[in-house]
């Protein structure tokens, strides 16, 4: 039970960040985003909440597995997780709320680096924590492409 509580708390934090971010992007998703020129690889609208639910679940499990461990790298990995979660949140603010593909693109490039860095740092401590970030990284690669395309063609 001691190992499950940090995982549940981390999952709730991730979903809380996602729900808060969705509050800031909802108006732009209805009125601004549909008017943008998007690439043919853009997933259907219904894919986004499904993908993010899976990603937030995996993210929470990933950091929850490390949270209860007592290693020298634990604090650094937790801080790194917090930074990437902050950049995850601020991307929605920059891209949707401020309607700035440029700020969103700069933000998502930093987020990409932070996610890869988290994976590299967590791998020696708990391999499964690094692997749980693979769906997130794959989605971010697609999101970076979409953001870059929107920046260039709008």
For residue range 34-73, list pLDDT tens digits in order.
Answer: 999 999 999 999 999 999 999 999 999 999 999 988 888 9
pTM: 0.96
Per the CB < 8 A criterion, the answer to whether 52 and 18 are in contact is: yes
Per-residue three-class SS string for 39-56: CCCCCCCCHHHHHHHHHH
* pLDDT value of residue 51: 98
Q: pLDDT for 82-118, tens place per residue?
A: 999 999 999 999 999 999 999 999 999 999 999 999 9
CATH number corresponding to 1-32+47-151: 1.20.1260
């Amino acid at each position: 039970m001691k190992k499950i509580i940090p995982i549940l708390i981390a999952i709730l934090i991730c979903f809380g960040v996602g729900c808060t971010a969705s509050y800031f992007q909802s108006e732009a998703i209805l009125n601004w985003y549909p008017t943008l020129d998007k690439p043919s690889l853009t997933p259907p609208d219904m894919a986004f909440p499904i993908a993010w639910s899976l990603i937030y679940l995996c993210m929470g499990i990933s950091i929850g597995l490390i949270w209860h461990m007592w290693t020298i790298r634990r604090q650094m990995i937790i801080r790194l997780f917090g930074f990437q979660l902050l950049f995850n949140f601020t991307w929605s603010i920059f891209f949707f709320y401020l309607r700035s593909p440029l700020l969103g693109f700069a933000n998502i490039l930093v987020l990409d680096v932070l996610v890869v860095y988290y994976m590299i740092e967590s791998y020696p401590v708990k391999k499964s924590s690094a692997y749980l970030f693979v769906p997130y990284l794959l989605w971010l690669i697609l999101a970076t492409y979409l953001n870059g395309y929107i920046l260039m063609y709008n």
